[in-house]
């Protein structure tokens, strides 16, 4: 019998920590059938009795939204970290009714009119700025969600919303399936020549997981996959150029053929987005997307990207010339004609020689437990918070998941977060992300007002523990963890009590990467680094010469790295602004045209990178991928405030950290990001710090 009543279906609890140990895919459909029936009735009642006041409109709306946000949030989270055919089917069956309900809510005329009436009422001036911003945002969101549409237009708009949601899910599933469908089993020493011990251990473990019981790091067999902890080090270290080519060509053509082909989905998504923006009166989907962002228009986005493209293109041309000369000095036959599958390999060899170290040498100094200690010490140093393990106090979805408590200066708990650190290609999508589990809010319970504490999910895909060793992280994995933790801090340290603007809610998308990119800078800070970089066996600190080499190598090929991000950003804007689906050019043509000024080695004919571009086709970054660069200007400028204060000057660092906490981290979406930035920095941002940090300007 399927659990389907409020009392025995864990997906209907609607609040508190999700009971992950009790949730099963077969509970999803009955839970949402019941929940949405209940919410439909509540919505009808609210529409009939809505008052244009905060307590008669916003508060009941929050109460209505909360259970759905909670339940759908739990199922969506499990889709990312514990994907299975059963869960996938249940999610796909339920998604349409969830989307239909959101549409109905977002397009509710009585609620929209009540928001407008509240803005015009004498109560308006009594609302604090955070409340006013929530109301103004709600009005704009309703308009962008089609509240003004009638008849056929409204029906068409809603049909598009539904189809886009389904296409996004399908796109993401195709990428996951295509990534895990391929593996390369190597059986001879010659095939694994050059591979570091950490990858041999991981590859042997992967082979054992697939049934090769006697696989060892020394004698194999070794299983290489397209999952990042396997793919990246293979491309960097394998001396077998033929195998690098095979792996590279497979990686770039993921989800571009057969049953998992995402090309038709891309065309359809772009076509629907264009149609949808037209229905709302915009010239393009990029214009619709920017209506809710910091950047005022497409021209402003392209102007910033061009400002960064010029110096990074010149630097990338120089990077490639130097790489070819280096390969020639090693008598590499391919030196004059480096291919895509040679770049990682030769840049890693050049880095080793130029800076006398390689990424693998650093791994033993970055065991995950030690890195967490260093990260949490930094959070205490900058923001005065204490983070302690709270494992066992919250149900988890996998045995490797950790749970932590965040306490303020007095020792009082103010937030919690889950950390799911390791790659699990069979069930977990790639990449790294932070998401909300519970949003901070003031709530009434049994006549008493309490503060609901925020809880975050932090998800990474780093190298798992292998052969009895802890997870030994690459420096890049350390940076990724700091990045996601930065997002987490904005959710966890918010002081806003209205869920509509607490944490990351109501923050313009192109400002949301500010705290995450800001935190990455601390990986290079002497105090922070030496606090966490200790050998996992001997506890010896990282030798000084490695620190100096890390600093020296920080901007190694940074022109190429910046240009790559600009290539993706301009492609995203172009596809959502000027591209005509079904026109003379297809999406690959557009990419190849833009590649002429944004890449120094043109993409291969079969390069189907777009087919795995989850960010813009299955995530929230459509016509918004430029946000990484836009926010990086803000984050570099914010970090330069600490440089100006003096990174060795503890009192100044504490004071600046406190100000960052009280502005960027505490204010959430309660004020416009430019106001928040100016409250911290005392002025508007400029690109100088970013160009300096990336070595593109002395």
Could you list the active site residues? 484
The helix (H) or strand (E) run that includes residue 437 is strand 433-438
Q: Using CB atoms within 10 A of its CB, is residue 47 exposed (0-12), middle (13-18) or buried (19+)? A: middle
- What φ, ψ does residue 78 adopt, rounded to 5°? -65, -30
Cα 290–chain centre separation: 19
Residue reference for tokens 């006697």: 214
* C-alpha span between 424 and 229 (Å, rounded): 10
Give the SS3 label for residue 539: coil
Tokens of 453: 């504490």
The helix (H) or strand (E) run that includes residue 406 is strand 402-407
* C-alpha span between 73 and 263 (Å, rounded): 28
The helix (H) or strand (E) run that includes residue 449 is strand 448-452
* C-alpha span between 501 and 247 (Å, rounded): 45
665 touches 383 (CB < 8 A)? yes
DSSP 102-135: HHHHHT-HHHHHHHHHHHHSTTGGGS-HHHHHHH
Give the SS3 label for residue 389: strand
114 touches 50 (CB < 8 A)? yes
Residue reference for tokens 């983070």: 387
Report the b/e string of 368-384 with b at 16+ CB within 10 A.
bebbbebbbbbbebbbe
Secondary structure letter of residue 604 according to DSSP: P
The helix (H) or strand (E) run that includes residue 419 is strand 413-422
Strand 455-462 to 413-422 pairing: parallel
Residue reference for tokens 């990336």: 694
Secondary structure letter of residue 158 according to DSSP: H
In degrees, to the nearest 5, what angle opens at C-alpha 330 toward C-alphas 329 and 332? 105
For 638-644, the CB contacts below 8 A with 24+ separation are 638/514, 638/518, 638/664, 638/677, 638/680, 638/681, 638/685, 639/518, 639/521, 639/689, 639/693, 640/689, 640/692, 641/680, 641/681
* C-alpha span between 463 and 202 (Å, rounded): 8
Q: In the chain, what's the furthest Cα-to-Cα distance? A: 80
* C-alpha span between 348 and 366 (Å, rounded): 19
CA atoms 654, 657, 662, 663: torsion sign:
positive
């Amino acid at each position: 019998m399927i659990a389907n009543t409020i009392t025995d279906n864990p997906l209907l609890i609607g609040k508190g920590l999700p009971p992950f140990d009790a949730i099963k895919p077969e509970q999803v459909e009955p839970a949402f059938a019941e929940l949405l029936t209940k919410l439909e009735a509540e919505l009808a009642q609210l529409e009939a009795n809505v008052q244009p006041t905060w307590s008669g409109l916003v508060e009941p709306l929050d109460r209505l939204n909360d259970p759905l946000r909670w339940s759908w949030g739990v199922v969506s989270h499990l889709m990312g970290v514990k994907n299975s055919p059963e869960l996938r089917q249940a999610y796909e069956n339920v998604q349409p009714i969830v989307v239909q309900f959101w549409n109905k809510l977002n397009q509710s005329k009585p609620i929209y009119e009540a928001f407008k009436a509240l803005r015009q009422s004498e109560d308006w001036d009594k609302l604090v700025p955070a409340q006013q911003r929530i109301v103004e945002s709600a009005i704009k969101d309703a308009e962008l969600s089609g509240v003004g549409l009638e008849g056929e237009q409204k029906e068409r708009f809603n049909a598009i919303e539904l189809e886009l949601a389904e296409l996004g899910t399908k796109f993401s599933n195709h990428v996951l399936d295509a990534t895990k469908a391929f593996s390369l089993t190597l059986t001879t020493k010659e095939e694994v020549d050059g591979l570091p011990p950490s990858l041999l251990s991981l590859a042997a473990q992967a082979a054992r997981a697939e049934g090769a019981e006697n696989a060892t790091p020394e004698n194999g067999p070794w299983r290489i996959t397209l999952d990042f902890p396997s793919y990246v080090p293979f491309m960097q270290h394998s001396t077998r150029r033929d195998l690098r080519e095979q792996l590279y060509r497979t990686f770039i053509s993921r989800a571009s053929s057969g049953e998992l082909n995402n090309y038709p989905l891309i065309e359809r998504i772009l076509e629907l987005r264009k149609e949808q923006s037209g229905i709302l009166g915009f010239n393009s989907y990029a214009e619709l997307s920017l209506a809710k962002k910091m950047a005022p228009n497409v021209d402003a986005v392209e102007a910033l990207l061009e400002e960064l493209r010029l110096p990074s293109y010149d630097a990338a041309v120089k990077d490639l010339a130097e790489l070819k000369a280096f390969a020639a000095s090693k008598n590499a036959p391919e030196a004059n004609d480096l291919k895509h599958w040679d770049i990682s390999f030769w840049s890693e060899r050049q880095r080793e020689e130029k800076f006398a170290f390689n990424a693998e040498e650093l791994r033993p100094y970055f065991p995950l437990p030690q890195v967490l200690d260093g990260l949490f010490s930094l959070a205490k140093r900058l923001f005065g918070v204490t983070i302690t393990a709270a494992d066992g106090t919250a149900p988890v979805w996998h045995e490797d998941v950790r749970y932590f408590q965040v306490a303020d200066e007095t020792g009082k708990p103010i937030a919690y977060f889950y950390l799911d650190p390791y790659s699990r290609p069979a069930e977990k999508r790639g990449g790294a992300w932070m998401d909300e589990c519970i949003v901070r809010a003031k709530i009434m319970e049994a006549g008493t007002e309490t503060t609901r504490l925020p809880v975050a999910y932090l998800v990474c895909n780093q190298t798992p523990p292998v052969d009895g060793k802890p997870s030994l992280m690459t420096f890049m994995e350390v940076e990724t963890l700091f990045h996601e933790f930065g997002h987490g801090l904005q959710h966890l340290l918010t002081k806003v009590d209205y869920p509509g603007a607490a944490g990351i809610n109501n923050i313009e998308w192109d400002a949301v990467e500010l705290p995450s990119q800001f935190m990455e800078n601390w990986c290079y800070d002497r105090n922070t680094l030496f606090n966490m970089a200790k050998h996992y066996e001997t506890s010896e600190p990282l030798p000084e010469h490695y620190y100096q080499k890390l600093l020296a190598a920080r901007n190694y090929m940074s022109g190429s790295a910046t240009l790559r991000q600009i290539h993706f950003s301009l492609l995203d804007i172009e596809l959502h602004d000027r591209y005509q689906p079904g026109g003379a050019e297809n999406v690959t043509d557009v990419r190849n045209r833009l590649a002429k000024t944004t890449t120094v080695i043109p993409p291969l004919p079969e390069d189907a990178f777009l087919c795995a571009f989850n960010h813009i086709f299955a995530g929230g970054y459509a016509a918004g991928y430029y946000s990484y660069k836009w926010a990086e200007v803000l984050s570099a400028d914010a970090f330069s405030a600490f440089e100006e204060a003096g990174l060795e000057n503890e009192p100044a660092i504490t004071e600046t950290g406190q100000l960052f906490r009280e502005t960027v981290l505490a204010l959430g979406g309660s004020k416009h990001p430019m106001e928040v930035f100016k409250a911290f920095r005392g002025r508007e941002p400029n690109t100088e710090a970013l160009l300096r940090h990336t070595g593109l300007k002395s």
